[in-house]
Amino acid sequence: MANLCNVDGRIAAESEARIPVLDRGFLFGDSIYEVVRTYGDVPFGWPEHWQRLQRSAAALRLPLDLDEPAVAARVAATLAAAGHGDSYVRLIVTRGTGSAPNIDLAYASGPPRWLILVRELKVHSGAPVQLAIVDRLRVDRRALDPATKSGNYLNNVLALAEAKDRGATDCLMCNTDGFVTEASTSNVFARLDGVWCTPPLTAGILAGVTRSLLLAFLPDCGERVEERDLRPGELRHADEIFLSSTLRDIAPVTHLDGRALHGGGIGTRAPMLLARFRDRVAQRLRDHDQPAWRRLLSHGST
């Protein structure tokens, strides 16, 4: 089993994959991406991830020159070559190689470059998190909308470093209005007065695939859920907090700004919700994702 990279249809070991130095993704972070996890050889939530990739491309004025079946075929080929069980898949599209190291789109001769990273999945869903609310602000929607999943991630990199300097394992950023947004690569839910509250998209966050699933899943579990603006002080009085993401599923928060929640352990609801969410994922894989993925690959081979 190996860590592989598919660059424009050519599969190579991750350590041997190469892109030109004038690639705009390398030079300027001029790229978009998605992270998908697989169960066996089936990507979970592929339709949502593909749709979000298309939205990100449109936001960056990046025309995609491959359709969904073609990309799915490359993903499947790379997964098969890697030979893992459950896998981490990172799909990256850069604007391609420019004619000069100039930010002007007039120098973006293209075409887009497609990269697929496949690694064995080693992140454990449900792993506990220690959060710190950092001073670094989330990028404003009017500057570079966080709803666009671009390769420009320095804001998150520095915020996470700040949190780790304070002994935490992840950060929580606020926006310019002082409202909570999200963690470095995850959305946040806080239980306040019996309601699971999560920041709205208008706060300047990524529309997480798992977040969207949870907004429908939580009421099915008899839980109340609300999208609303949250102040940092509210989180410090929350009954329970968890992060959500493709790789984490539901990750309970045990500490906030150095203060132990639940005696430094995991709250009562998150483990129950995680177990039921895993059952929901298994059902969706069986009833929807697996047959839909097989149909997509079949369409791409015709």
CA distance 297 to 152: 31
Q: Strand 224-227 to strand 195-198: parallel, antiparallel, or no bridges (unpaired)?
A: parallel
Nearest-angstrom CA–CA distance, 172 and 92: 25
Q: How far apart are CA 274 and CA 252, in angstroms?
A: 9
Four-CA torsion 197, 185, 65, 141, nearest 10 degrees: 60
CB 292 within 8 A of CB 46: yes
Q: How far apart are CA 224 and CA 118, in angstroms?
A: 37
Residue 142 CA to residue 132 CA, distance in Å, equals: 25
C-alpha dihedral sign at 152, 155, 159, 161 = positive
- 3-class DSSP assignment, residue 28: helix
Active-site option among 95, 149, 255, 269: 149
Q: Which two tokens stand for residue 282?
A: 């298994």
What whole-number distance in Å separates Cα of residue 207 and Cα of residue 49? 10
Main-chain dihedrals φ then ψ at residue 232, nearest 5 degrees: -55, -40
Q: Rg (Cα) of the chain, in Å, rounded? A: 20
The answer to whether the beta carbons of residues 170 and 128 sit under 8 Å apart is no
By C-alpha distance, which of 65, 69, 45, 46 is closest to 57? Answer: 65
Specify whether 164 is catalytic. no
Q: Catalytic positions, please?
A: 149
